[in-house]
Chains A and B, each alone.
Chain A
């Protein structure tokens, strides 16, 4: 496809359930980012992949959050034992940049997000 695709668009879960959110980046994009956006706020960084390697997970709020990108393309963000405070929009972005030394200025392309509501 032409853009970043995320599924599902909406997810409602009961507190304590596990959820999995999927991101299909733009074909050929090496870098993949996950962000969390609370209502009325800007997105907050969660984690970063370069191909299949998770190079930065400093933004993951707790060990209940886990992300993977096993073949360097599709990524899954998993949240275990969901809590109400996990309710947010989860955005995925991809970009072509891959070389830390390049100071590359490729823009990040965002998907439409998954709106997660925890009851």
Chain B
């Protein structure tokens, strides 16, 4: 059974610092890995999707890497801003129907 783990559970950094969020999964037979952002009381916003054949994806200040063989993904957020404060979740798709298996998330606070 696939297990997805995110460490740390919470992270606080001063504005301007780079953020590094980690995600690990136990079964490397995945179709893709997705990073989401969740603000309090809101749903999930998709940030980046990395296909199993890719090693990284970039969007603006965000960069996500994927090492399928070791079961790891890392989300980098450059030059953090207070508006980046949110919970970040990673999810793997290891089922061809599409259901996602989520980690518990990393709660990020960026202080001005």
Contacts and interface: CB of A to CB of B under 8 A. Distances in A.
B44 A91 contact: yes
Interface residues of B, number: 26
Contacts of A107: 34, 46, 49
B6 to A, nearest CB: 8
B11 to A, nearest CB: 15
B23 to A, nearest CB: 11
Given A55-B97, A105-B49, A44 B31 contact: no
Contacts of A43: 44, 89, 100, 102
Nearest to B51: A105
Interface residues of A, number: 33
Nearest to A92: B43
Given A91-B43, A103-B31, A108-B46, A42 B89 contact: yes
6 contacts: A33-B100, A35-B100, A48-B97, A100-B97, A103-B31, A109-B46
Interface of B: 4, 31-32, 34, 36, 41-46, 49, 51, 89, 91, 95-105
Given A55-B97, A93-B44, A111-B43, 15 more contacts: A31-B97, A31-B98, A33-B99, A42-B4, A42-B89, A42-B91, A42-B103, A43-B100, A56-B95, A95-B98, A103-B31, A105-B49, A109-B46, A110-B44, A110-B45
